[in-house]
């Protein structure tokens, strides 16, 4: 089944027409309503009338995450606050989160794209969908929630954690679809096994997994352990949240809802568009968003676009699973982590530049974060209890900054490897 | 008397203590006394050496985190009950001890290394009782 055939199966010509008109409208609006965009366009010698169709998008300046931070909290909104009906936010580098605002229309559009995604995943109105993404400032929970309601399926808004209860409700309520991070899905499978519950005794049929990178191997593992079809959903809060793109039953790339989010692939060094089908950095322009429209927003995710028609009948362009980042961001248990966040915590606690190493491992099914901190002169105390207190303080500060637990280990100076004078900051040992 | 104790941060892994003693040995520095306080991950090596400045310098140049701490060296007769008496005095005077360690120099006398919270007062108290202390023994 296809939720919105007119759009999802439109010809390239029809789609271009929609995109062109919407881009023209968006540029008009942001030029007049958002000073930051106007200034950037003026610096590039552009006026709104220079944008006449979707191909003119390449003339526009890029937007980066730093622009959102510089305009914290609401400086990039293109409507008055009275029009904003909801706020979401993702963790920030210096304690300040990236804030996004939604108008009523934005929320309706978001529900629409999540509904399309759910239908692509094979969910229908008779399904019972357990939303085990976190509810709150994170977009995962509420994003899936309203998409499910919009479809007419039943939503169980259980949020993350509480694993045994999750499994009990699956049994009692007859949950047929689950939405969570792929690593949590594996964890669920493990706990289920420990509880002596066979997946065949459940009605669970499909999983909608996202918010962190996962591989084809992990998909196989989830599908084998839970006896379900595992579907990849993609999104980022700056653009909307989950539902920017999602796989269909073919599991051959995620269909981008390109009538709302226009994708480009650029070379992360030159920022020039790459030839069609080549790999590069994914860039999005929102075409209908009112709260916080984004012009050529650099996602830092590396992927490629597939324009061929999909066997499912949809013509929406597909993106491959992201195979990396063009910056140093890590995604750990669905949480975005920048090494610079660790650095700023350590800097707060000492005068000089700290040396540290982040080690990310996948133990069983869950990601763990270890932080090695060199005990330089400024940290060293003769007393064990002071060192223990220091370790606890670092642990606590990092946990409250990142929102995920971390194991801190104090190590001797110069034990963290330097390459060309520069310390290596991250070792990612996860096999994903 | 007050002495400068040298403290070194050590990770709990094999060969680290050996490395410190080798460096000091190569520099011709004798270790008069030492103790190690440890947790599951790391430890602090504390030492009394004749030339603390030189010890700090060679250890720092070998990338160790080093610190000096002022400690009290109390010389006592090497006899049963002496340490108990000394500690009783400090306890009576409400002097709190962060840590201490001791070594005997020979059959006759021993040295106790004390890290009190209030070093000046500790010295003052020990001096006040110290004379009597020695005489009694």
Average pLDDT, rounded, for chain B? 88
Question: How many Cβ contacts (< 8 angstroms) between chains A and B?
Answer: 53
B64 and B104, same domain (yes or no): no
At residue B75, φ and ψ (nearest 5 deg) are -90, 125
pLDDT on residue A353: 61
Q: Which helix H or strand E contains A279, and what residues bound it?
A: none
Residue A358, helix vs strand vs coil: strand
Query: B7 CB near a chain A CB, below 8 Å?
Result: yes
Q: Cβ of A383 and B98 within 8 Å?
A: yes
Please state whether beta strands A335-337 and A297-303 pair in parallel, antiparallel, or not at all (unpaired).
Answer: unpaired
Q: How far is CA A417 from the centre of its chain?
A: 31
B35 and B62, same domain (yes or no): yes
DSSP-assigned beta bridge partners for residue A306: A318
Residues 75-104 of B with CB under 8 A from A: 98-99
B53 and B30, same domain (yes or no): yes
B10 and B59, same domain (yes or no): yes
Q: How far is CA A291 from the centre of its chain?
A: 19
Q: Cβ of A382 and B65 within 8 Å?
A: no
pLDDT on residue A259: 98
Query: Taking Cα atoms as reference points, which of A233, A252, A20, A278 lies closest to residue A118?
Result: A233
Q: Is the ipTM of this complex over 0.90?
A: no
Q: Cβ of A412 and B41 within 8 Å?
A: no
CATH number of the domain that residue B85 is part of: 3.30.2130.10
Structural domain total, chain B:
2
* Rounded Cα distance, A208 and A180, in Å: 7
What is the 8-class DSSP label of residue A48? G
Please state which of the ranges A33-42, A287-296, B7-16, B100-109 shows the lowest mean pLDDT.
B100-109
pLDDT band at residue B134 using 50, 70 and 90 as cut-offs:
very low
List domains and CATH numbers for chain A. Answer: 70-327 (3.40.50.12780), 332-428 (3.30.300.30)
Structural contact between residues A402 and A337, judged by C-beta atoms closer than 8 angstroms: yes
pLDDT on residue A344: 78
Residue of B42, B47, B48, B62 to mutate when probing chain A, most A C-beta within 10 A = B42
Shortest CB distance from A382 goes to which of B11, B39, B69? Answer: B69
Shortest CB distance from B9 goes to which of A388, A409, A412? Answer: A412
B64 and B6, same domain (yes or no): yes
pLDDT on residue A300: 92
B64 and B8, same domain (yes or no): yes
Chain A positions touching B38 (Cβ under 8 A) are 384
Q: Nearest-CA residue of chain B relative to A377?
A: B65
pLDDT on residue B132: 40
B29 and B42, same domain (yes or no): yes
pLDDT per position in chain A (432 positions), as tens? 999 999 999 999 999 999 999 999 999 999 999 999 999 999 999 999 999 999 999 999 999 999 998 999 999 999 999 999 999 998 654 557 899 999 999 999 999 999 999 999 999 999 999 999 999 999 999 999 999 999 999 999 999 989 999 999 999 999 999 999 998 898 899 899 999 999 999 999 999 999 887 888 889 989 999 999 999 999 999 999 999 999 999 999 999 999 999 999 999 999 999 999 999 999 999 999 999 999 999 999 999 999 998 999 999 999 999 888 888 888 888 788 888 788 778 877 765 567 888 999 987 778 889 999 888 877 788 888 888 988 998 999 888 888 788 999 998 888 887 655 555 688 888 876
Domain boundary residue, one of B68, B93, B111: B68
pLDDT band at residue B40 using 50, 70 and 90 as cut-offs:
confident
Shortest CB distance from A384 goes to which of B37, B63, B66? Answer: B37
Task: State yes or no: pLDDT of B131 exceeds 70.
Answer: no
Q: How far is CA A140 from the centre of its chain?
A: 9
B63 and B92, same domain (yes or no): no
Q: What is the DSSP string of B78-137?
A: SSTTHHHHHHHHHHHTT--EEEEEEEE-SSSEEEEEEEESSHHHHHHHHHHHHHHHHHH-
Closest approach of B62 to chain A, Cα-based (Å): 10
Q: Nearest-CA residue of chain B relative to A408?
A: B41
Cis peptide before A73 (omega within 30 of 0): yes
B19 and B60, same domain (yes or no): yes
Closest approach of A382 to chain B, Cα-based (Å): 6
The owner of tokens 């480009």 is: A264
Mean pLDDT on B74-97: 89
Query: B69 CB near a chain A CB, below 8 Å?
Result: yes
- Please give the structure tokens belonging to residue A110: 């978001």
Task: State yes or no: pLDDT of B34 exceeds 80.
Answer: yes
pLDDT on residue A241: 96
Residue of A378, A382, A414 to mutate when probing chain B, most B C-beta within 10 A = A382
pLDDT band at residue B65 using 50, 70 and 90 as cut-offs:
very high
Shortest CB distance from B42 goes to which of A376, A387, A413? Answer: A387
Query: B51 CB near a chain A CB, below 8 Å?
Result: no
B38 and B87, same domain (yes or no): no
pLDDT on residue A351: 53
B80 and B44, same domain (yes or no): no
Domain boundary residue, one of B51, B68, B85: B68
B75 and B64, same domain (yes or no): no
Look up the domain containing B17 and give its range. Answer: 2-68
Domain boundary residue, one of B46, B68, B90: B68
Q: Cβ of B41 and A376 within 8 Å?
A: no
Q: How far is CA B40 from the centre of its chain?
A: 22
pTM of the model: 0.74
């Amino acid at each position: 089944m296809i939720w919105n055939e007119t759009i999802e199966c439109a010809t390239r010509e029809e789609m271009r027409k929609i995109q062109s008109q919407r881009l023209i409208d968006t540029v008009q609006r942001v030029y007049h309503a958002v000073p930051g965009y106007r200034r950037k366009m003026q610096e590039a010698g552009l006026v709104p009338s220079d944008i006449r169709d979707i191909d003119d998008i390449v003339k526009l300046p890029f937007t980066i995450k730093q622009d959102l931070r510089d305009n914290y909290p609401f400086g990039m909104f293109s409507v008055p606050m009275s029009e904003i009906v909801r706020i979401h936010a993702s963790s920030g580098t210096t304690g300040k989160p990236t804030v996004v605002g939604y108008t009523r229309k934005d929320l309706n559009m978001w529900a629409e794209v999540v509904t399309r995604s759910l239908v692509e995943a094979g969910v229908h109105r008779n399904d019972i969908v357990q939303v085990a993404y976190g509810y709150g400032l994170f977009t995962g929970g509420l994003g899936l929630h309203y998409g499910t309601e919009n479809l007419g399926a039943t939503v169980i808004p259980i949020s993350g954690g509480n694993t045994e209860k999750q499994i009990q409700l699956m049994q009692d309520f007859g949950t047929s679809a689950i939405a969570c991070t792929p690593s949590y899905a594996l964890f669920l499978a493990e706990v289920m096994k420990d509880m002596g519950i066979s997946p065949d005794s459940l009605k669970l049929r499909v999983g909608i997994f996202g918010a962190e990178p996962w591989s084809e191997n992990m998909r196989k593992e989830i599908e084998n352990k839970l006896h379900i079809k595992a579907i990849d959903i993609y999104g980022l809060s700056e653009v909307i949240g989950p539902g920017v793109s999602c796989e269909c039953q073919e599991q051959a790339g995620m269909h981008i809802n390109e009538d709302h989010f226009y994708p480009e692939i650029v070379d992360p060094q030159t920022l020039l568009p790459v030839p069609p089908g080549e790999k590069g950095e994914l860039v999005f322009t929102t075409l209908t968003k009112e709260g916080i429209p984004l012009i050529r927003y650099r996602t830092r995710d590396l992927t490629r676009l597939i324009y061929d028609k999909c066997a499912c009948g949809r013509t929406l362009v597909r993106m491959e699973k992201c195979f990396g980042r063009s910056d140093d961001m890590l995604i750990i248990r669905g949480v975005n982590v920048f090494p610079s966040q660790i650095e700023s915590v350590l800097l707060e606690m000492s005068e000089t530049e700290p040396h540290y190493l982040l080690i990310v491992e996948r133990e069983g099914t869950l990601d763990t974060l270890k932080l090695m901190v060199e005990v330089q002169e400024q940290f060293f105390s003769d007393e064990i209890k002071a060192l223990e207190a220091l370790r606890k303080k670092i642990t606590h500060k990092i946990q409250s900054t990142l929102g995920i637990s971390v194991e801190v280990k104090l190590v001797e100076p110069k034990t963290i490897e330097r390459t060309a004078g520069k310390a290596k900051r991250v070792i990612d040992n996860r096999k994903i | 008397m007050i002495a400068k104790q040298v403290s070194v941060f050590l990770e709990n892994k094999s060969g680290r203590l050996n490395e410190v003693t080798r460096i000091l040995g190569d520099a011709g520095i004798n270790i008069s006394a030492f103790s190690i306080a440890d947790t599951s991950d790391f430890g602090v090596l504390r030492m009394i050496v004749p030339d603390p400045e030189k010890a700090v310098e060679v250890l720092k140049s070998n990338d160790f985190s080093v610190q000096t701490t002022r400690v009290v060296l109390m010389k006592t007769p090497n006899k049963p009950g002496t340490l108990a008496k000394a500690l009783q005095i400090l306890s009576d005077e409400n002097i709190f001890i962060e840590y201490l360690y001791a070594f005997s120099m020979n059959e006759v006398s021993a040295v106790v290394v004390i890290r009190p919270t209030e070093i000046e007062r500790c010295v003052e108290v020990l001096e006040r009782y110290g004379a009597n202390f020695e005489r009694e023994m």
